[in-house]
Amino acid sequence: MTAVAAKPAAGSALNPTAMVVGVVLLLIIIGACWQLAPGLAFMALIGIIVGGVLVGFGVHFVPVGGAPAAMGQAPGIATGVAMLAAGGGLAGLFGGAWAASQEGLVVSVVTGGVGGGLMMAITCMMVNFIYVYGMGIPAASGKIKVDPITGDTQTEYKSQGTEGHGLPFVSFVGGVIGGILGGAGGTIIYIMLLNLYKATLPTMMKATEAQILPIAISAAGIFAIGIFLVNAVLTAYNITGTIEGFHDPKFKRWPRAVVASAAASALCGFVAILIVTM
Amino acid sequence: MNNIVFGIGITALIGALAAVAGAAEDTESNIGSQGDPNSQVQLAPQMGYIHRIFNKAIAGEPPAYGLWIVLGAGLAWSFMAMQLNAVLAIVLGSVLAVFVQGVYATTAYVGRTASLKKFGQPIYVDILKSMTTVTMAHAFIAIFCTVTLCYLMNAALGHPFPLPLLGFVWGIALGAAGSATGNPYYGKERQYQNQKFGAGVPIAQSGNIVRYAEAGERNSLDNGFFTAKLGGPASGVCFGLIVFLELWRTILFENISAGWGAIIIGVLMILVFTIIDRYIEVWGRKTYGPYAKPEEAKS
């Protein structure tokens, strides 16, 4: 089949072979970690995989319109999927990491999630502000006729020759959920690595915990941001361009991204663990 | 109590710096067509519309700003490690980062425009000379403000991340906030001023950007002048709110119920912004009305 003949697959094109390969890869990496570094390092790997999957799944909620949104030709936020998700998720990681220096795991992860959600809420609100007050354009979805949350009709608010514009309420809610999941996921990855580094670095570097703390925080932060970006970019490939939120048919592709995110996070996390356990 | 008052003062200063950074970032990116509207600037000559708009988009705003602010923050951090005064270190770090931005802008404009040779688009040397310095000046304001706010978060408020890591986090967030808020205003409202107000640009009109100004041909300084009136300040408000509220809820409410206070306030703020967003959406629908009759009425 040529590229011209190929029809764009909105959601159902899940490839079972690729999924199985992904799951097998994931199991192999988990098994290798269990063999090489059981205990704390293994638990850290599981945490990193959970965090990575949360990030990968969360990115699907973020309404991104890319270049067409900047011309009012498509609904969503006018920037790239991976970058917007990274902006929200890293703002969450900032709050989560701050909380982690004083509080426990649950409070830090929830703080990170709320930080990401807050960043996305402000950004989505300002997008609608610019569309409505700056450009005189009401929000309209191109994928659905009626907003599933508010019941507002969408089709007649779509201007001629466009696929919609702005952020309908359902997309706003999607953006906030995406920010919450991204912020929480990033924070889990950070805390898991930080705890591991704090436990292993003092013996490795023959120094006290207070002395290695800056190195542990920096290394955990860099790896957390790196693993976050890997998952955000992977998911951006899964979405291919633009998505309106969880009501978009493309949202049904999430199982692919979850398996890919789990395998990629496992591999990245394994490398992050090996530098202190080998 | 003194600590909280000090923290609130620093938070207010950081919020103000963030607002300036956001406004400068958006204006810089609009002068350089760095955001998503770059696709139209690149497309126009291919559709037969030769123009004098600057285009330096070889990376999205978030990664580009991530790079420049990490550079500024990393260099400032190194200078401080060499016992240099913090203010001087931040200024020097930002200046060096701006030189990288200048090299980036020059090579990006020349490279992107050279690829349009077969469509007859010339590389204007006067555009390169006049626009690059203006983007560098705006970039300096954005980088300096962001590096300073990262320094304050680390040194005054005690965030555990080192300066370069904070620079990366807030550089990406700055680019994301600026491009999300400012791009539609530049892309739709300025590039397509020849289209109807109050409607999206029809897809068939893609590439037909406005190329003439009140006198002579329009260049990117005109675009920066226009977007600095609303798109820039709105981006500044967006980034300023993000940074200020994130710090404010942590500084004031972190110690209430072992961290849950800050979480509850964060959730409340998300709800407040949800209500504001819904108000804006309903206001837009009621004030502007539908473009076409509702489907029920037709049938």
From the candidates A106, A126, A127, which should be mutated to test the interface with B, based on the most B CB atoms within 10 A?
A126
Q: What is the mean pLDDT of residues B151-167?
A: 93
Alpha carbon A272 to its chain centroid, in Å, reads 19
Size of interface A-B (CB pairs under 8 A): 297
**Tally of CB atoms within 10 A around A203:** 10
B71: enclosing H helix or E strand: helix B61-81
**Tally of CB atoms within 10 A around B82:** 8
The closest of B243, B269, B257, B263 to A108, measured between CA atoms, is: B263
Residues of chain A with pLDDT under 50: 1-3, 5-6
Task: Give pLDDT, residue A139.
Answer: 93
**Neighboring chain A residues of B230 at a CB cutoff of 8 Å:** 130, 134
Listed in sequence order, the residues at least 6 apart from A144 whose beta carbon sits closer than 8 Å to its beta carbon are: A154, A170, A244, A247
Work out the minimum CA distance from B296 to partner chain A, whole angstroms. 11
Q: Residue B299's pLDDT band (boundaries 50, 70, 90)?
A: very low
Higher pLDDT, A204 or B2: A204
Helices (H) and strands (E) in chain A, counts: 8, 0
Could B188 and A157 be called an inter-chain contact, meaning their C-beta atoms sit closer than 8 Å? Answer: no
How many Å apart are CA A196 and CA B96, to the nearest integer?
36
Q: Is residue A29 part of a domain?
A: no
Higher pLDDT, B108 or A36: B108
Work out the minimum CA distance from B241 to partner chain A, whole angstroms. 7
**Neighboring chain B residues of A117 at a CB cutoff of 8 Å:** 266, 270
Distances (CA, A) of A114 to B21, B59, B203, B261, B263: 24, 29, 37, 12, 7
**Neighboring chain A residues of B238 at a CB cutoff of 8 Å:** 122-123, 126
Domain boundaries, position A239: 39-277
A64: enclosing H helix or E strand: none
Quick check: B25 pLDDT over 80? yes
Could A90 and B169 be called an inter-chain contact, meaning their C-beta atoms sit closer than 8 Å? Answer: yes
Q: Is residue A265 part of a domain?
A: yes
Q: Is residue A223 part of a domain?
A: yes
Work out the minimum CA distance from A126 to partner chain B, whole angstroms. 6
Quick check: B161 pLDDT over 50? yes
DSSP code, position A78 = S
Could B165 and A221 be called an inter-chain contact, meaning their C-beta atoms sit closer than 8 Å? Answer: yes
How many Å apart are CA A140 and CA A138, to the nearest integer?
6
Q: Residue B111's pLDDT band (boundaries 50, 70, 90)?
A: very high
Q: Where are the domains of chain B?
A: 2-200+208-253
Listed in sequence order, the residues at least 6 apart from A247 whose beta carbon sits closer than 8 Å to its beta carbon are: A141, A143, A144, A148, A170, A171, A174
Q: Is residue B131 a contact partner of residue B54, using CB atoms and an 8 Å limit?
A: yes
From the candidates A59, A64, A83, which should be mutated to test the interface with B, based on the most B CB atoms within 10 A?
A83
| CA dihedral (B8, A114, A257, A24) positive or negative | positive
How many Å apart are CA B231 and CA B238, to the nearest integer?
10
Task: Give pLDDT, residue A103.
Answer: 83
Task: Give pLDDT, residue A9.
Answer: 52
Q: Count of domains in chain A?
A: 1
At residue A226, φ and ψ (nearest 5 deg) are -60, -50
DSSP code, position B120 = T
The closest of B100, B40, B31 to B65, measured between CA atoms, is: B100
Task: Give pLDDT, residue A1.
Answer: 42
The closest of B79, B84, B71 to B144, measured between CA atoms, is: B71
Q: What is the mean pLDDT of residues B45-62?
A: 91
Tokens of A255: 């199982």
Helix B86-114 vs helix B125-155: crossing angle, to nearest 10: 140
Task: Give pLDDT, residue B50.
Answer: 93
Q: What is the mean pLDDT of residues B147-161?
A: 94
- Name the percent of chain B lying above pLDDT 90: 79
B195-205 pLDDT per residue, tens: 888 888 988 88
How many Å apart are CA B293 and CA B290, to the nearest integer?
7
Quick check: B4 pLDDT over 90? no
How many Å apart are CA A272 and CA B294, to the nearest integer?
56
Could B199 and A72 be called an inter-chain contact, meaning their C-beta atoms sit closer than 8 Å? Answer: yes
At residue B293, φ and ψ (nearest 5 deg) are -65, 145
Q: Is residue A10 part of a domain?
A: no
Could A72 and B184 be called an inter-chain contact, meaning their C-beta atoms sit closer than 8 Å? Answer: yes
Task: Give pLDDT, residue A13.
Answer: 67
How many Å apart are CA A173 and CA B274, to the nearest integer?
8
Could A169 and B40 be called an inter-chain contact, meaning their C-beta atoms sit closer than 8 Å? Answer: no
Residue of B nearest to A133 (CA): B284
At residue A205, φ and ψ (nearest 5 deg) are -100, 5
Could B200 and A73 be called an inter-chain contact, meaning their C-beta atoms sit closer than 8 Å? Answer: yes
**Neighboring chain B residues of A176 at a CB cutoff of 8 Å:** 270, 274
Mean pLDDT, rounded, of chain B: 92
